[in-house]
C-alpha cells in the first residue's frame, strides 16, 4: 500500500512526457484525456492515501533512491505522507483535475500543438507541486519549489508571441528567484548546523540550534515564502502573472503554487514557534500585504487583476495566521481559499470566454441572465471569500482573525478592516460583471453564451466545495469538538503546541460576539456594494486623489522601477557598453591584434632566399656557441691537447 506514494507524482510526470513529446502527433481530445486523466489517477491514489493517513496516522518516510551521497553527507530522494502533505495532495490533485478538465474546453481554440504544450506544462506543474509537498526533506522540497517556479514562468508566457506576456513571465521568474535565494541559504544554514535536511531529523534536533540560528533560518525561509507566495515586498509579480491563460491563474496563482510558502512554514512550524521575533515579522508583513493588496483591489477594473490582488490579500491573511501561531487556521484558509479562489478564476475565465477575451469589468454587466451557472457559482464564491457564514471562507478567516485577536487586538481590527474591503471589492466585481446593463459592444452581446459543460461542471463542483468546505473546521465557540481539521492536523503541529502550551484566553462569548458583529458589518458592506455597482454606468472620467493612487497600485511598480530596476539596468548598460566594450573586448581583441601584427612582421624573415637562411643558420650557430661557451671545459680540452 505504501508503494502507492510513488504513483502520485508518477502519473503527472507520465502525462507530461507523453503530451510534451508527442504533442505534434496527438489530437486534442486525446491530449485532454491524457492530461486530465493523469491528474485524476493521482487524485484517486491521493484519496486512498488520505484515508489511510486518517485512520492510521502518518505513513513512514519512503526513500526512493539516494539523491546525494558524499561521504557522511547523504540526502535521500524520499517521500513523506503525513496529515499535512496528504491534505495538500488532495487540494493539488483534486482542484488540479477540475482545472485540467476546465482547460480542455477553455483552451479548445488553440492549435493542437500548443494545446499539447499547454497540458504538458500543466502536468509538469502538478508533478513539481507534488514533489514539493511529498518531499521528506528540504532539498526535495526545493526541487519542487524550483519546478513550480519554472512551470509558472512557462505558463505565464504561454502566449509567447505577446512581448508583454514574456515580460510578465520574466518578472515572475526574477522575483521568485530573489525569494529562492533566501530559501537556499536557509537550507545551507540548516545543513551547516545540523548536517541533515530531513524534516524528522531537523525538527528533532531544534534544541541544538541557538536563537540566532533559528532566527536566521526562519527569516531566510520566510524570504523564500514572500517570493513564492507573493508577499510584500515581492508580491508585484502575481498581478502581472495574470498574463497567462485563466485556468493557469486558477491553478498556479491562486490554489496551489502560491500556497507553497504557507506549506513550507507550516511544515517548519516548530522552527517558527521557537522564533517569536520572526513570527511577529510574518504577522506584520502578512497583515500589511492583506490590507495593502485589498486597497488596490478596490479600484482595479480588470476582472483578473481584482482576483489577483484578492489572492495576494488572502495569502496575507494566511501569513497572518502563521505569524500568530494559528497554523491550522492558515492551512484551513489555504484549503478554503483554493476552493473559492479557483472557482472565482474559473468563473472569470468563463466570463472572459463568453466576452470574447474582454477583461474590463466596466464593459461587462448584466451577464447573470446569459450565464446562469457561471453567475450563481461566482456568487457563491463571492459570499465565501467575503466571509458570510456558513460558507467556507467565514470559518477559515474567522479562525485566523480569532488567533490574531488573542495575540494583539490591533492585528484583529486591521485584519477585519481588510476583510471588509474584501467583501466590498468582491461585490463590486460581482455587481459590475453580472448585474445592471450590458455595457459591451453589440457583437459581444450577440456572442454571449453559457460555457460548455466541461467548464461548468468544475464550477459547480467547486461551488459546492466552497459552500460546505468550511464545515470541517467549525470553531469551538459555535460547536464543541467540531473542528475536524484541527484534530486531523494535530500531530503535525503537536511539537509547536507543546512548546507554546498556552491556554485560550479569549472566552467563547467574546469570540461569538466579535464574529456576529463582523458578520453583520460584512453583510452591510455587501449590500452597499451591491446597490452601488449594480447601477454602474460606464464613464471615462479619470479617478482623482486616492482613487487614482489605488488604481495605479500605489505606484509600487513605478517605485521599484525607479529604485531598483532602472539603476540595475543603468549599471548593466555601463558594464555592457563601457566595461565590456572597451575593457574586456579591448583586452581580447588586443591580444588578437598583437599576434596578427607580430606574425605579419615575422613573416618578412621568411624571404625565400637560400642565402638568408644560411646566414641565419650560421649566426644562430655562433650565438649558440657563445651561449654555451664554458671556460672550464674548453680550457681543460685545450690542456689535454697541448
Using CB under 8 A as the binding criterion, the count of chain residues that bind another protein stands at: 11
Q: Which is nearer to another protein, 410 or 615 (CB)?
A: 615
Question: Applying CB under 8 A, does 614 fall inside the site for another protein?
Answer: yes
Nearest to 400 by CA among 292, 476, 324: 324
- Candidate list 602, 604, 626, 641; residue touching another protein; CB under 8 A: 641
State the DSSP code for 483.
B
As measured in angstroms, the least distance from the Cβ of 162 to another protein is 59
Q: Which is nearer to another protein, 606 or 632 (CB)?
A: 606
As measured in angstroms, the least distance from the Cβ of 616 to another protein is 11
Q: Which is nearer to another protein, 212 or 599 (CB)?
A: 599
Q: What angle do CA 304, 266, 151 make, to 5 degrees?
A: 45
Question: Applying CB under 8 A, does 606 fall inside the site for another protein?
Answer: yes
254 contacts 315 by C-beta, under 8 angstroms:
no
**Which residues have C-beta within 8 Å of that of residue 165, sequence separation ≥ 6?**
156, 157, 158, 159, 243, 244
Long-range pairs of 438-447 with CB within 8 A, sequence gap ≥ 24? 438/364, 438/365, 438/366, 438/367, 439/362, 439/363, 439/364, 439/365, 439/537, 439/538, 440/355, 440/358, 440/363, 440/364, 440/365, 443/356, 444/355, 444/356, 444/358, 444/363, 447/354, 447/355, 447/356
Question: Applying CB under 8 A, does 527 fall inside the site for another protein?
Answer: no
157 contacts 57 by C-beta, under 8 angstroms:
no
Question: Applying CB under 8 A, does 604 fall inside the site for another protein?
Answer: no
Question: Applying CB under 8 A, does 632 fall inside the site for another protein?
Answer: no
**Which residues have C-beta within 8 Å of that of residue 462, sequence separation ≥ 6?**
95, 98, 339, 340, 342, 343, 346, 377, 381
State the DSSP code for 209.
S
Question: Applying CB under 8 A, does 611 fall inside the site for another protein?
Answer: yes
Candidate ranges 1-9, 231-239, 455-463, 608-616; the one touching another protein (CB under 8 A): 608-616
- Candidate list 3, 72, 609, 632; residue touching another protein; CB under 8 A: 609
CA–CA gap between residue 391 and residue 395 (Å, rounded)? 7
Question: Applying CB under 8 A, does 608 fall inside the site for another protein?
Answer: yes
Question: Applying CB under 8 A, does 601 fall inside the site for another protein?
Answer: no
Q: Which is nearer to another protein, 1 or 638 (CB)?
A: 638
Q: Which is nearer to another protein, 212 or 605 (CB)?
A: 605
Question: Applying CB under 8 A, does 633 fall inside the site for another protein?
Answer: no
As measured in angstroms, the least distance from the Cβ of 600 to another protein is 14
CA–CA gap between residue 552 and residue 558 (Å, rounded)? 9
Question: Applying CB under 8 A, does 615 fall inside the site for another protein?
Answer: yes
Question: Applying CB under 8 A, does 625 fall inside the site for another protein?
Answer: no
CA–CA gap between residue 506 and residue 508 (Å, rounded)? 7
Contact pattern for another protein over residues 26 through 55, marking x by CB under 8 A: ------------------------------
As measured in angstroms, the least distance from the Cβ of 609 to another protein is 6
Task: List residues binding another protein (CB under 8 A).
Answer: 606-611, 614-615, 618, 641-642
Amino acid at each position: 500500500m505504501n508503494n502507492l506514494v510513488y504513483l502520485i507524482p508518477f502519473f503527472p510526470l507520465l502525462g507530461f512526457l507523453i503530451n510534451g513529446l508527442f504533442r505534434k502527433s496527438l489530437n486534442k481530445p486525446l491530449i485532454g484525456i491524457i492530461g486530465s486523466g493523469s491528474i485524476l489517477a493521482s487524485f484517486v491514489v491521493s484519496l486512498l492515501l488520505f484515508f489511510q493517513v486518517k485512520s492510521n496516522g502518518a505513513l513512514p518516510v519512503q526513500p526512493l533512491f539516494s539523491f546525494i551521497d558524499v561521504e557522511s553527507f547523504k540526502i535521500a530522494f524520499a517521500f513523506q505522507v503525513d496529515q499535512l502533505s496528504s491534505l495538500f495532495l488532495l487540494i493539488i490533485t483534486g482542484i488540479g483535475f477540475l482545472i485540467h478538465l476546465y482547460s480542455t474546453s477553455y483552451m479548445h481554440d488553440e492549435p493542437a500543438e500548443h494545446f499539447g504544450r499547454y497540458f504538458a506544462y500543466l502536468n509538469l506543474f502538478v508533478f513539481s507541486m507534488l514533489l514539493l509537498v511529498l518531499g521528506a526533506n528540504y532539498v526535495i522540497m526545493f526541487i519542487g519549489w524550483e519546478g513550480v517556479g519554472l512551470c509558472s514562468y512557462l505558463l505565464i508566457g504561454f502566449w509567447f508571441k505577446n512581448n508583454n506576456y514574456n515580460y510578465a513571465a520574466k518578472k515572475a521568474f526574477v522575483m521568485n528567484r530573489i525569494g529562492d535565494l533566501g530559501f537556499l541559504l536557509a537550507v545551507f544554514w540548516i545543513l551547516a548546523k545540523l548536517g541533515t535536511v530531513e524534516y524528522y531529523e531537523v525538527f528533532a534536533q531544534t534544541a541544538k540550534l541557538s536563537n540566532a540560528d533559528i532566527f536566521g533560518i526562519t527569516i531566510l525561509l520566510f524570504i523564500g515564502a514572500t517570493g513564492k507566495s507573493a508577499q510584500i515586498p515581492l508580491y508585484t509579480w502575481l498581478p502581472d502573472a495574470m498574463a497567462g491563460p485563466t485556468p493557469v491563474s486558477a491553478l498556479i496563482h491562486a490554489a496551489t503554487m502560491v500556497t507553497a510558502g504557507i506549506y513550507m512554514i507550516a511544515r517548519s512550524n516548530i522552527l517558527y514557534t521557537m522564533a517569536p521575533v520572526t513570527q511577529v515579522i510574518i504577522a506584520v508583513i502578512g497583515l500589511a500585504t492583506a490590507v495593502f493588496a485589498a486597497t488596490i483591489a478596490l479600484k482595479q477594473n480588470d476582472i483578473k487583476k481584482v482576483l489577483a490582488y484578492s489572492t495576494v490579500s488572502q495569502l496575507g491573511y494566511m501569513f497572518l495566521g502563521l505569524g500568530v501561531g494559528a497554523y491550522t487556521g492558515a492551512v484551513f484558509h489555504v484549503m478554503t481559499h483554493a476552493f473559492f479562489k479557483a472557482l472565482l478564476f474559473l468563473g472569470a475565465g468563463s466570463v472572459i470566454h463568453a466576452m470574447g477575451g474582454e477583461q474590463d469589468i466596466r464593459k461587462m454587466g448584466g451577464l447573470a441572465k446569459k450565464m446562469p451557472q457561471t453567475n450563481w457559482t461566482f456568487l457563491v464564491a463571492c459570499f465565501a471569500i467575503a466571509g458570510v457564514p456558513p460558507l467556507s471562507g467565514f470559518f477559515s478567516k474567522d479562525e485566523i482573525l480569532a488567533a490574531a485577536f488573542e495575540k494583539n487586538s490591533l492585528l484583529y481590527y486591521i485584519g477585519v478592516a481588510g476583510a471588509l474591503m474584501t467583501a466590498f471589492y468582491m461585490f463590486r466585481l460581482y455587481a459590475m460583471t453580472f448585474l445592471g446593463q450590458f455595457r459591451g459592444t453589440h457583437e459581444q452581446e450577440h456572442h454571449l453564451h453559457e460555457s460548455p459543460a466541461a467548464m461548468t461542471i468544475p464550477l459547480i463542483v467547486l461551488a459546492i466545495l466552497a459552500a460546505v468546505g468550511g464545515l470541517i473546521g467549525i470553531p469551538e465557540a459555535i460547536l464543541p469538538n467540531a473542528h475536524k481539521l484541527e484534530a486531523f492536523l494535530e500531530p503535525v503541529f503537536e511539537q509547536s503546541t507543546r512548546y507554546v502550551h498556552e491556554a485560550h484566553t479569549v472566552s467563547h462569548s467574546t469570540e461569538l460576539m466579535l464574529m456576529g458583529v463582523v458578520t453583520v458589518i460584512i453583510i452591510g458592506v455587501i449590500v452597499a456594494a451591491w446597490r452601488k455597482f449594480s447601477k454602474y454606468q460606464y464613464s471615462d472620467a479619470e479617478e482623482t486623489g486616492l482613487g487614482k493612487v489605488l488604481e495605479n497600485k500605489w505606484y509600487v511598480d513605478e517605485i521599484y522601477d525607479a529604485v531598483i530596476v532602472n539603476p540595475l539596468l543603468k549599471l548593466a548598460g555601463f558594464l555592457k557598453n563601457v566595461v565590456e566594450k572597451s575593457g574586456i573586448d579591448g583586452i581580447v581583441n588586443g591580444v588578437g591584434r598583437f599576434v596578427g601584427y607580430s606574425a605579419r612582421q615575422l613573416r618578412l624573415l621568411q624571404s625565400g632566399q637560400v642565402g638568408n637562411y644560411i646566414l641565419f643558420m650560421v649566426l644562430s650557430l655562433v650565438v649558440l656557441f657563445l651561449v654555451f661557451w664554458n671556460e672550464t671545459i674548453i680550457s681543460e680540452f685545450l690542456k689535454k691537447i697541448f
